[in-house]
Chains A and B, each alone.
Chain A
Amino acid sequence: MTIAKPIVLAEDNPRDAELALAAMEEEHISDKVVLCHDGAEVLDYLYCRGHFKTRLKGNPAVVFLDLKMPKVNGLEVLRTIKADTNLRAIPVVMLTSSREERDLAESYTLGANAYVVKPVEFQQFLSAVKELGVFWGVINEPPPERACSHQ
């Protein structure tokens, strides 16, 4: 099983990040995960700037977005991605604790491809993250690449 493209995981909570990575580890896809600690970092990655200035060009296979993050929150990142013609095709999965109807509605309106509520139960969380990682990172065929035209 080879993954061509990286998976971007935006998670400000290091414990959640560690648990998610532990789940990905079980599916041997954790080495493809790029961990961002806030929304600004996600945008830096997507636009190949700041810390990610020197990264290999190309869009990720999928972006997992937490809603509540410092600096730039999940919905703002989502709005930016879906408003940019070069990034619009990237699948975005909201991965959050919030079950609020308002968040669900707004995410889908902004063009989220999926919305997953993090289960409290670890086994469920584990299988959810594993399934998501495998589906979006491996099974799903990502959109055709357009050259990263940023800088």
Chain B
Amino acid sequence: MESATNHQAQAPPLHDDVGKLPSGSTPAITAPSQRIIRWFQTLTIEQRVLTGFSLVFVGILIISAISYHNTNGLLRNSGLDGRSHALIQLLGSIDAAMGEAEGTHRRYLVTGEQAYLEAYKRVIAQKPTFTTYLNELTQDSPEQQRRAGELNRLMERQASAESKAITHVQERGIQSVRKMALEGAGRRELDGIHQIISEMDVYERQALNRRVIESAASTRHTIMLLAVGAGLQLVLLASVYYLIRHDITERRRVAGELQRRGELLEAANKELEAFSYSVSHDLRAPLRHIDGYAALLRKTVDQSLNEKAARYLQTISDSAKQMGQLIDDLLVFSRMGRQDMLQTTVNMDQLIKSILSDLRLDLHGRQISWTIASLPEVKGDPSMLRQVFMNLLTNALKFTSTKPMASIEIGVEPPGSDEVVVYVRDNGVGFDMQYAPKLFGVFQRLHRADEFEGTGIGLANVRRIVHRHGGRAWADGMLDKGATFYVALPRGGIKG
């Protein structure tokens, strides 16, 4: 059973492999190029342009190196050509000179004329020069050098045979060298010399021809390489240009889009402003009327009003007032979101002092133990930050009102790296930490309206202002054990 399942399990992959093998080669070839394309797509525009220019640079380097190499070869060849021509000429001279040496020495042997001896000596005197040149001009080719050695040796032998014959004739007279004089002392060597010289000549001419063909081919290659290289560079530069142009077009489009959206946003903001202006003006009026007419009604029917009716009238007034407060708070909330922000240094000590002085009516008749630390200066909008701490202190006062002895602390956390954290701590009714995320929402309240009054906008305002300053706001608390509200502001003010 087990083996059967194994077999079955193995079978399909086998078939698969067989089926895939022929077609599998195509993806294997395209994979690297696809990988390069994918890699290229991960690059930023700057990296792409840099890659493009690097390729162009490398291409120029390669073309320059090859051209340099080819030109060097051409120069070397033309140097070699010069030497070849010199060598061919030299060989001709040697051939002629050695022939002449043979001829003059033989004539001297036969005639004993001093003039022939002189001529012979003049010719043979050139031999060391010939040897030097020969060695020099055959340096580059070992084969020619070998032949040159042979040639030198033959020349040496011819000269020595001839000089021996001359010495002989001077010592023993013409008869002793008669046979030699007819044949020539170095006749055999001269034949060898002729042969070697013609070999060398042929070899050198072949080499010349070969080099001419080589040079022509090399020049053609260089020209082709330059043409292909220039073409490639053009293609590369064109792609880089396309990349840059594409990027610029894209940027322009994005900038245009941003501007368009900015204008839309501005229009929307203006509309919102007009809206809140209407709210501020038109929504307040009916509330004022409700409260006003309720008061006038109370005044008019004062005598005949029973307790219940008086309470109804009071409720009408209270509701109108509450809604008025709600509208005011909402307007502040909306204003804090769109108002232009100032960016100045705010002295927190003075800010808290002025807030407490504004709150002195609320402090009247309250038992409060204050702990106020020396506070740092922060960067921000003074009136907005005032709103933040006004809200936090009003809250602290409100939620400690049920305690016989309230304790409120304003402090600052130990200086951190880039934030100033100021907190307001109270020993009031506190809150359950599970509701902490709701605290800063608009219209979010954790207490019933008859426990503590309020519209539920204060902390939303705090968070909105702190966010606009690039900071954070959060709270810590425990039911019946008080609460701490933290405001963290960036030390250097908001960036940008």
Contact = CB atoms under 8 A, between A and B. Distances in A.
B292 A125 contact: yes
A100 B277 CA distance: 7
A100 B293 contact: no
Contacts of B321: 120-121
Contact of A16 (B280, B288, B325): B288
Given A122-B295, A126-B295, A98 B288 contact: no
A99 interface: yes
A96 B280 CA distance: 10
A6 B293 CA distance: 26
B324 interface: yes
Given A99-B328, A118-B288, A120-B324, A22 B280 contact: no
Nearest to B324: A120
Given A120-B324, A122-B317, A68 B292 contact: no
B281 A68 contact: yes
A126 B277 CA distance: 24
A97 interface: yes
Interface string A22-33: 100000000000
A19 B292 contact: yes
Nearest to B322: A120
Contact of A97 (B285, B291, B293, B295): B285
Interface in A9-38: 13, 15-16, 19, 22
Contacts of B80: none
B470 to A, nearest CB: 23
Contacts of A120: 284, 287-288, 291, 320-321, 324-325
B86 to A, nearest CB: 102
Nearest to A119: B288
Contacts of A101: 335
A96 B281 CA distance: 8
A22 B296 CA distance: 9
B280 A99 contact: yes
Given A15-B292, A120-B320, A122-B317, A98 B285 contact: no
A67 interface: yes
Contacts of B328: 99
A85 interface: no
A67 B320 CA distance: 22
Interface in B272-297: 277, 280-282, 284-285, 287-289, 291-296
A151 interface: no
A122 B291 contact: yes
A149 interface: no
A16 B289 contact: yes
Contacts of A54: none
A122 B288 contact: yes
Interface in B254-310: 277, 280-282, 284-285, 287-289, 291-296
B289 A121 contact: no
B277 A19 contact: no
B386 to A, nearest CB: 14
Contacts of A67: 281
A109 interface: no
Given A122-B295, A126-B295, A19 B289 contact: yes
Contacts of B294: 122
B280 A100 contact: yes
Contacts of A68: 281-282
A123 interface: yes
B161 interface: no
B292 to A, nearest CB: 4
Q: Which of B282, B285, B288, B289 has the most CB of A within 10 A?
A: B288
Nearest to B298: A122
Interface string A102-129: 0000000000000000111111011000
B331 interface: yes
A22 B299 CA distance: 11
B383 to A, nearest CB: 10
Contacts of B288: 16, 19, 97, 118-120, 122, 125
Nearest to B294: A122
B460 to A, nearest CB: 19
Nearest to A26: B299
B300 to A, nearest CB: 10
Nearest to B321: A121
B215 to A, nearest CB: 89
A24 B293 CA distance: 15
Contacts of A19: 288-289, 292-293, 296
A97 B324 contact: no
A31 to B, nearest CB: 19
Contacts of A97: 280-282, 284-285, 288
B293 A15 contact: yes
Interface string B333-361: 00100000000000000000000000000
Interface in A63-77: 67-68
A119 B320 CA distance: 12
Interface of B: 277, 280-282, 284-285, 287-289, 291-296, 317, 320-321, 324-325, 328, 331, 335
24 contacts: A15-B293, A16-B288, A19-B293, A68-B281, A68-B282, A97-B280, A97-B284, A97-B285, A98-B280, A99-B331, A100-B277, A100-B280, A101-B335, A118-B284, A118-B288, A119-B288, A120-B287, A120-B288, A121-B291, A122-B291, A122-B294, A122-B296, A125-B292, A126-B292
Given A122-B288, A122-B296, 10 more contacts: A22-B292, A97-B285, A98-B277, A98-B281, A100-B280, A120-B284, A120-B288, A120-B291, A120-B325, A125-B291
* Nearest 7 Cβ contacts at the A-B interface: A120-B324, A122-B292, A122-B295, A122-B291, A19-B292, A97-B284, A15-B289
